[in-house]
Amino acid sequence: MNFIRTFILLLFLGLGLQQTYSQSYQFKTSGFSVLEKNERGKWGQWSNLDLVNLSVILDTNKHRIVVYSQEIQLFSIMDYIEREENDTDIVYSFMCKDNDGRECKLSIITRKKQDYRKQLYINYDDHIIVYNIFSV
C-alpha cells in the first residue's frame, strides 16, 4: 500500500514538473496594420490600424505560433533566431513556414521607450503584417 502511494506521488510530481518546463506564451491583439510592396517593388504606406481582439499562442514545445484570426494562421517554427536588444527594442525572431508552406519571419518586439509595448511582426517578401499584442 505504501509503495502505491509513493508511486502515485512520484507520478504527479513528474507530470507537474513536466508542465513547468512547457513554454507556451499567450497574447491578445488590440489592433493590426499591413504594409505592402507596390508593382515596382517599393514599400507603400502602412494601412490604418484596425482594432481586433484575437488570441496568439507561441508554443515552443510544438514549435509553432498560432494567430486565431477568422482564418487561423499557423506558423511552424523552423529556426529560433538569437534574441536581439538595443536601446529601444528587445526582439525575439523566428524563421517560420505558414499554412501554405511559405517562408516568413515572425518577430515579437518589445518597445522599451513606449512603456514596453509589444508587437508581433509577420514579414513576407511582399508584405508585412503587424499586430499590437499584450500578454495574458
pLDDT tens digit sequence for 37-84: 999 999 999 999 999 999 999 999 999 999 999 999 999 999 999 999
> Is residue 4's pLDDT more than 90?
no
The number of residues making up the chain comes to 136
Q: Please give the C-alpha separations between residue 72 and each of 24, 49, 85, 129, 130, in angstroms, as whole numbers.
A: 18, 20, 30, 14, 16
Of 1 and 43, which is predicted with more confidence?
43
Of 60 and 8, which is predicted with more confidence?
60
Q: How confident is the model at residue 21 (pLDDT cuts 50, 70, 90)?
A: low
Q: How confident is the model at residue 20 (pLDDT cuts 50, 70, 90)?
A: very low
Q: Write the pLDDT tens digit of every residue in 79-112.
A: 999 999 999 999 999 999 999 999 999 999 999 9
Grid coordinates of 72: 487561423
The predicted pLDDT at position 22 comes to: 59
Contact 34, 47 (CB under 8 A): yes
Q: Which of 96, 116, 118, 115 shows the shortest CA–CA distance to 105?
A: 96
Q: How far, in Å, CA of 131 to CA of 50, rounded?
A: 9
